[in-house]
Structure 1
Amino acid sequence: MTTTTAAVTVGQQAEPKTYGPLTRTDFVKYQGASGDFHPLHHDDVFARETGFPSVFSVGMLQAGMLASYVTDWMGVENLRRFKIRFADKVWPGDELTCSATVTDILDAADGRRAVLEVTCTRQNGVVALVGDAEFLLN
């Protein structure tokens, strides 16, 4: 569902996409794929003993969801920069909604680029990830 990047305009928004509800199994599957087996993400007893109410997601799981979402819109071949900041934890049962808005069109050495603000928001309205991305326009 890649968009024709030549027609992108400032203020344009991608259709939001919601993932989840996420489960502990989702967290463990990601841990297996990434090799990050920290017990905070799969061992409820360990997480509670450390002061958390339960296990929580490896942040890169939702970062990957956000990256896939935005590259599905603008085309992975056009991606030039993707930068995120983790803003809140993601817990079992959370539903995450990804969104993206074009905030600027720039002239760069390799051509015109669209600058996007990207977010991943929990069902309670709290932003879990925020960032920006740049895509080359055809």
Structure 2
Amino acid sequence: MSKTAPAVGDRIVHKEFPAITRHTLALYCGASGDHNPIHVDIDFAKASGFPDVFSHGMLVMGYLGQALTDAVAPGKIRSFSTRFAAITQLGAQLTCEGHIAELLETGGERRARIALTTKDQHGETKLAGEAIIAL
């Protein structure tokens, strides 16, 4: 964050991620222990009515969390919450952003509520959320 006083509307978070590949999904399966075949088995995904495998929601949430902690020291984060908005397809190039939505004070501590989004290269919101940070 900059040294100037923060203002509503200021962009605090911005990070772009490379396209999600089958390899990305396989690595995430191993790291997370989430081996749901909908994310790695194309035949299973098609039998379930999808055109292909798609990303784990928690992988997308992890990207947003990484973007947040790249911009704000983890010790200044008071809360972080998200809601899934849409399936993230294979090949999605995600951009995570966060803007100050509100300045507030809690218990004598100056804080900001950050509105967070993760969108794909087509501008479709995949994840939305918010964080409260200490200033």
Once the two structures are superposed, the pairs formed by residues 1-138 of structure 1 within 5 Å of their partners are 3=1, 7-14=5-12, 16-109=14-107, 111-137=109-135
The gaps in structure 1 that reach 5 residues or longer are: none
- In 1, Cα distance between equivalents of 2:109 and 2:61: 27
1:98 partner SS: strand
Retained in 1: the 8 A contact 2:13–2:67?
A: no
- In 1, Cα distance between equivalents of 2:72 and 2:4: 10
Aligned AA for 1:119?
A: T
Retained in 1: the 8 A contact 2:88–2:126?
A: yes
When the two structures are aligned, how many residues end up with a matched partner?
A: 135
Cα 1:12–1:20 shift into 2, 3 Å? same
- In 1, Cα distance between equivalents of 2:64 and 2:18: 13
1:80 partner SS: strand
The gaps in structure 2 that reach 5 residues or longer are: none
How large is the Cα RMSD of the aligned pairs?
1.6
- In 1, Cα distance between equivalents of 2:108 and 2:50: 46
Aligned AA for 2:6?
A: V
1:27 partner SS: helix
2:7 partner SS: coil
TM-score w.r.t. the length of structure 1 is 0.91
1:77 partner SS: helix
2:114 partner SS: strand
Retained in 2: the 8 A contact 1:82–1:132?
A: yes
The Cα shift of 1:8 comes to 2.4
The Cα shift of 1:109 comes to 2.1
